[in-house]
A and B are shown apart, each in its own frame.
Chain A
Amino acid sequence: MAIEIEQQPSVGLSKIAVSDTHGEDSPYFAGWKAYDENPYHESNNPDGVIQMGLAENQVSFDLLEKYLEQHSEASNWGRGTGISAFRENALYQDYHGLETFRKAMASFMEKIRGGRAKFDPNRVVLTAGATAANELLTFILADPGDALLVPTPYYPGFDRDIRWRTGVKIVPIHTDSKNNFRITRQALEEAYSKAQSQNIKVRGVLITNPSNPLGAAVEKTVLEDILEFVTCKNIHLVSDEIYSGSVFCPNEFVSVAEILHARNYKDAERVHIVYSLSKDLGLPGFRVGTIYSYNDKVVTTARRMSSFSLVSSQTQHLLASMLSDTKFTDNYIKTNRERLRKRYEFIIEGLRKSGIECLKGNAGLFCWMNLSPYLDTPTREGELAIWDSIMHEVKLNISPGSSCHCSEPGWFRVCFANMSQQTLEVALKRLHDFMEKRKIEKSLLL
């Protein structure tokens, strides 16, 4: 029998706990709720909300499953002996991570970059997802009150990962649709000066390459500009390359690692790469992230900090097995790219038929759709109004650009890899009908 005294009003929690920097009150998540309450299902709920706000990769699971069916050693625990191998694996909590796994990760990252960069397994630090990796790096590179510069539009989760518990700020680097949201030197300088004018110390630049939500790889010249900028200001560069394996045309992606490799790693100590298997391999549940740093002190410190978010040794073992199999990885990378490219072309074509244009993209699990011509008013409110219609009338959950801090209203991120081809067709049809209806309504008003 619980005897409770009268519940006191808010018992003291921390400032971090009561702040809303976790970001869950943003409209990005409102769409989720609508989906959760009424999820689409081909047969059971054909009128439900189709989830197009989730950047998941579901197009290549058959390849993973086939691998597992053909390789029973992945389900064993370790080197052949079965029983005692389980014990070793279950006991392994070394924050260096299984060497076989680190080697496999390094080689997988090299393959994705077509061998144009080399990765040293001893520089691979493992974390429970890219979420943990980005927060961890922020703790290492910046003090509370400092800032990282981040180009807009950006992944909404950064607001939480970079800022929440670290106390670090994000100062946006504004980009413009007029030049395809390219990061310019001018924008970099402006962001830096803005921070300075507010007495905020800038510690680094964080880019996502390929970009989320743009779905496009960052051009080589832009990367070189950014490298020059961070060198000049003597600050860090974090390149989140979580979508690097999802580039449709391999020669259109240049990793910062390649540029550094070509320069013999001169001045590379300020560069750190984040990666994860959540997107390229479609395994977000397994929490496999990594930090790759060219800076010894960062590697050592990151490794120590990874104690708070290690990757399960059970999962490390499974993936070490899979990613060491070069026949598997070669085939996977190639096939995955191809399938994503086909999906991308399909959705672009479908949207175009509905009178909707997208930013020219070449990577990722989404496209960056331009509805600005269709806004009632060219404002955030106008954007949210059309977003609301699309959610409640068309029953599609897509992500409004404002939740990605886009400086121009009317852009939306639309995911295409987290559903079957059939569902995508249904979604496109619904959107097509919606646009047709609007056209008619507009013409009636004239």
Chain B
Amino acid sequence: MGILSKIATNDGHGENSPYFDGWKAYDSNPFHLTNNPTGVIQMGLAENQLCFDLIENWLKDHPEASICTPEGVHEFQDIALFQDYHGLPTFRNAVAKFMSRVRGNKVTLDPNNIVMSGGATGAAETISFCIADPGDAFLIPSPHYPAFDRDVCWRTRVNLVPVVCESSNNFNLTITALESAYKEAQDAGIRVKGLIINNPSNPLGTTLDRKTLKSIVRFINEKGIHLVCDEIYAATVFCQPDFISISEILEEVECNKNLVHILYSLSKDMGLPGFRVGIIYSYNKDVVSIARKMSSFGLVSTQTQHLIASMLSDDDFVERYLAESAKRLALRHRTLTRGLAQVGISSLKSNAGLFFWMDLRRLLKEPTFEEELKLWRVIIHEVKLNVSPGQSFHCSEPGWFRVCFANMDCETMEIALRRIRAFVLQSQEAEVPVKRHRWSNNLRLSFSSTRCEDSMMTPRVMTPHSPMPHSPLVRAV
């Protein structure tokens, strides 16, 4: 039988990483408040589950937003037939308005620059196809979202060149680091086509300040390279400083706007990852045109476009939602980070995201990545929490972990906090940084879980015949 392509047989999908202990542990023993209170709590999943009640109530009050209800079915045929890659005008308008509102209405985004994609996953890949040729590279600050390796590089055959950010200055992105990474790439004969930034940052949970954003813009203009700003967490900013989008900066500094592109999605801000609403917003008319043609490969279902258009056009709802979401995220964040601080665990000061960046360096026996992995296994198997080790984000220093807090209810969060506190106190008493257990390092077990979430590459080394039990993520079946 004919062999498969290089793309099909390489590791570009990112799932063959050694990090599947956490997922396996969770899937085989998932926490449930009543049915399994000693199970593993999932804190490796950057989902926003805090405001579904608001959306559910809105849906109840607006049956016409669905094309299946008696109130909405008269639109069924038109919606079902519409496959124009420009998208429903109502959808584009509503998304542009929403994105502008999320930016405090300090900018007005143009619906004509809005292009659909298969989630932010599709958006990142598409922009990569538009801007770079095989063998070219993007600079990207680390630590960063692991799946960028797949999204930006896999089928495009483009490379990522990390720009290392360090804890010594709170992982801030410096021009020195950018210049140095750029030069190194050049010296190595690598053609850098652009810089990708994630603002607010996953995994850091921080936003970029005005000064840094301006110097980034100066940098890319000087080098004549593109700037791709993934602003997927824009509406998860829950306290000061306010979010500053690149779109604002473009109004304030000299810039060749043809170099700037924003990636967005409703998966995080609105908690709707299943709906696959990805957006590319480009200031470059050619890129808008090309990306739109490419969007044929990942259009948003018109059924979903119709629903979202309806929802996001409701100004009152949007106001209430954004305000309430920020409040609830702030509370979660505060409760957890303070609770940890009380037992001497600090985290990077952050104002956004669905997670925080926890500092467990002092619990490492030695400052190595092996020790980080060992600590991580202990947290999974003993503390029964699935958190994400910093190395999966390409962090240059061991000991940092990303902890998600918006994908569970309050009681679960309290239990998680209690467990970490108990563990930390216990470790302090025991006088060794970490209790040692011999865990079998059988990393290549086949297991039964789900998809590639953004925390780590889901290691799906399974045959198509394996069912997927237990994970609540597939309970929708």
A128 touches B464 (CB 8 A): no
List residues of chain B with CB within 8 A of the CB of A282.
80-81
Interface residues of A in 104-125 (CB under 8 A from B): 120, 122-123
B1 touches A270 (CB 8 A): yes
Given contacts A5-B256, A58-B81, A64-B76, contact A310 B8 (CB under 8 A): no
Given contacts A94-B451, A285-B303, A314-B275, contact A128 B1 (CB under 8 A): no
List residues of chain B with CB within 8 A of the CB of A144.
134
Nearest A-chain residue to B59, judged by Cβ: A86
Given A11-B224, A307-B119, 9 extra CB contacts under 8 A? A13-B286, A75-B63, A87-B56, A93-B119, A144-B134, A283-B80, A296-B463, A304-B460, A314-B303
The total of Cβ contacts below 8 Å across the A-B interface reads: 288
CA distance A298 to B56 in the complex (A): 38
The reply to whether the CB of B419 lies closer than 8 angstroms to some CB of chain A is no
B299 touches A304 (CB 8 A): no
Contact for B451 among A16, A143, A307, CB less than 8 A: A307
Query: Which range contains the number of B residues in contact with the other chain?
Result: 35 or more
List residues of chain B with CB within 8 A of the CB of A303.
460, 464
B256 touches A7 (CB 8 A): yes
List residues of chain B with CB within 8 A of the CB of A142.
5
CA distance A15 to B129 in the complex (A): 9
The reply to whether the CB of A182 lies closer than 8 angstroms to some CB of chain B is no
Can you list the 5 inter-chain pairs with the closest CB atoms, starting with the nearest?
A: A313-B274, A285-B302, A75-B68, A99-B477, A312-B301
B286 touches A94 (CB 8 A): no
Contact for A86 among B1, B56, B136, CB less than 8 A: B56
Contact for A318 among B68, B224, B466, CB less than 8 A: B68
Given contacts A75-B69, A91-B271, A94-B473, contact A312 B256 (CB under 8 A): no
List residues of chain A with CB within 8 A of the CB of B130.
13-14, 16-17
Q: Which of B47-55, B321-329, B367-375, B387-395 contacts A (4 or more CB under 8 A)?
A: B47-55
Interface string of B164-176 (1 = CB under 8 A from A): 0000000000000
CA distance A64 to B226 in the complex (A): 46
Given contacts A17-B129, A56-B81, A69-B73, contact A270 B254 (CB under 8 A): no
Interface string of B57-96 (1 = CB under 8 A from A): 0010001001011101100110111110000000000000
**Which B positions have Cβ atoms within 8 angstroms of A?**
1-2, 4-8, 13, 15, 47, 49, 52, 55-56, 59, 63, 66, 68-70, 72-73, 76-77, 79-83, 118-119, 121-122, 125, 129-134, 136, 150-151, 155, 193, 221, 224, 226, 250-259, 267, 271-276, 284, 286-287, 290, 293-294, 296-304, 307, 450-452, 460, 462-466, 468, 472-477
Contact for A140 among B8, B250, B253, B267, CB less than 8 A: B8
List residues of chain A with CB within 8 A of the CB of B294.
22, 165
A96 touches B474 (CB 8 A): yes
**Which A positions have Cβ atoms within 8 angstroms of B?**
1-5, 7-8, 10-17, 22, 24, 56, 58, 61, 64-65, 68-69, 72, 74-75, 78, 83, 86-96, 98-100, 120, 122-123, 128-129, 131-132, 135, 139-144, 146, 160, 165, 203-204, 234-236, 267, 269-270, 278, 282-288, 295-301, 303-305, 307-315, 317-318
CA distance A234 to B134 in the complex (A): 29
Contact for B251 among A2, A69, A99, A140, CB less than 8 A: A2
CA distance A64 to B451 in the complex (A): 32
A1 to chain B, nearest CB (A): 7
CA distance A407 to B262 in the complex (A): 45
List residues of chain B with CB within 8 A of the CB of A318.
68, 303
Given contacts A90-B274, A96-B450, A301-B13, contact A13 B297 (CB under 8 A): no
List residues of chain B with CB within 8 A of the CB of A296.
463-464
List residues of chain B with CB within 8 A of the CB of A146.
5
Given contacts A300-B464, A315-B304, contact A61 B76 (CB under 8 A): yes
Contact for A308 among B47, B121, B451, CB less than 8 A: B121
A40 to chain B, nearest CB (A): 16
B248 to chain A, nearest CB (A): 11
A379 to chain B, nearest CB (A): 30
A88 touches B475 (CB 8 A): yes
Given contacts A17-B287, A140-B4, A298-B4, contact A78 B81 (CB under 8 A): no
CA distance A61 to B67 in the complex (A): 13
B297 touches A309 (CB 8 A): yes
Which one of A1, A22, A269 has the highest number of Cβ atoms from chain B below 10 Å of its Cβ? A22
B129 touches A165 (CB 8 A): yes
A171 to chain B, nearest CB (A): 16
A65 touches B155 (CB 8 A): no
B297 to chain A, nearest CB (A): 5
CA distance A142 to B55 in the complex (A): 44
CA distance A416 to B1 in the complex (A): 40
A276 to chain B, nearest CB (A): 11
CA distance A171 to B381 in the complex (A): 55
A139 touches B155 (CB 8 A): yes
CA distance A233 to B475 in the complex (A): 44
Contact for B118 among A15, A128, A285, A313, CB less than 8 A: A128
Given contacts A5-B256, A141-B2, contact A165 B304 (CB under 8 A): no
A12 touches B274 (CB 8 A): no
Nearest B-chain residue to A22, judged by Cβ: B293
CA distance A135 to B273 in the complex (A): 23
A158 to chain B, nearest CB (A): 13
